[in-house]
Chains A and B, each alone.
Chain A
Amino acid sequence: MKKHIFEKVDECLYSEKLSNGINVYLYPTNKTKNFYISISVNYGANILKYKKGKKEVNVIPGSAHFLEHKVMALSENKEISERINSLGSLANAWTNYHGTNYNIFGSINLIENLKLLLDIFYNTDINEKCVNEEKGIIGEEIDMYKDDLNSFMYSELFNNMFHSSYVNNTVVGERSDIEKITAKSLNEIYSDYYVPNNTFIIVTGNFDINEVSNVIHEYMDKLNLKQKKLPKLVKKKEKDSVRISYQEIRRDLNDSRVKYGIKINKKLFDINNDNILRYYLNIILSCNFSASSKLFEKYKNENIVTNMSTGVNIIDDYVVLMISATCDDANVFINNISKDIKTLDLTKNDFERKKKIFLKSYITDFDNIEDIEYNICVSILMENKIDYNEYSTINNMNYNEAIKILKSLEFDNVSVIRTIK
């Protein structure tokens, strides 16, 4: 196993690539009594069409998430479920646009839990009956997300900003989508993407790395799965423009919620590393819109907003800058932000100060094994690598580069969503 040291905090991660292509990441620590084990696959809701050989497969929106429910189908596998319970462990799973993660959190017998998680992942039985039964549960989950105004506005705005992107659909899909999902469609995806060279295992917590590594080797040897060529992702070319520039949604609210999204082609920035680009853009937005910015003070003092926050999303070849606000009068906010967004600035002092917040987050994220697992998982799903020198990466970000990025920003492609009473 290869030993890596996370700079500044002196924390170790061991990694290994097995002969079948599966990657293993082990973070041992004696600061906890618990452990967190996950197996993740680079298959999420961002894949809507792919090609294997000459065959093109259209994926029904919501399939990645539906598949997650059926792989982690503990109620259909009583034996595994009872074994997990008998160890006092908690099993869970999540799906986002970039991948799917299956995990077990526990404190008794890590090895047994690890084998159980691998059994869940590799012994699926997806049939028509269980798929139909799951539709009621997922339907309720879809309704739950739709009732969350913030999450609903996010998904609507992304849908409005893009012409042919994966964000035109939510991760969970619509009720009408999941009605079309069948056991056959899920099994096909499982067979095409749930392959070792598209999968990785993370173990964090209190354990012996050699013992865990040996168990994974033995399990994989017995399973004897081979590397498999991954299908080719089929994507439509996205346009620079936004699809819909303005949308109102009716809600029984005395104040208004607004999301103001700006779509920018990534080629405008001379940075290949999405993670670093994200850091720079977050600092620029934070310096101009967070509580320490002049604009925030002005907007609060003039009662233009009660709340304002920002976010940076990178979606394929595009960056989406998002400003969310709660305000008394949406028109006043939209008019002001439309003008002020074009006059963003950044001082060297502000830039250096904001870096400290990212450094704090880098250091304190090592306090919790669940956060460590999550950060490793997201790094691999999003960037396909882990930055062991992230402390220096942040520290070495420089003001001139930030100014260059700031000057590259274009604000022609805007989409707004707001509530009306």
Chain B
Amino acid sequence: MSLTNYLVLAAILFTIGAVGVLVRRNAIVVFMCIELMLNSVNLTLVTFARASGTIDGQIIALFVMVVAAAEVVIGLAIIMSIYRTRRSASVDDANLLKY
């Protein structure tokens, strides 16, 4: 048992989140996947803070959480606006910006 376990777990969670972004179409679920990716990064930061013996990693993880909260607020507001005009929360339906 070493800190590597935490890091590998974080990598796997990150990958699951990324694949979720790619395969899910519900915008809210996609957002959840992004949250999962952010959380796995936080786990990495906390782990490295412990390994390096400084507390800066935790501070940055805190900042990530704050930024994630702001991002969630804005993102969900955008999803609401899109839903209100298009009656759909599918990311595939918002595809007008193309060739």
Do A and B make up one complex? Answer: no
Q: Which residues of A contact B (CB under 8 A)?
A: none
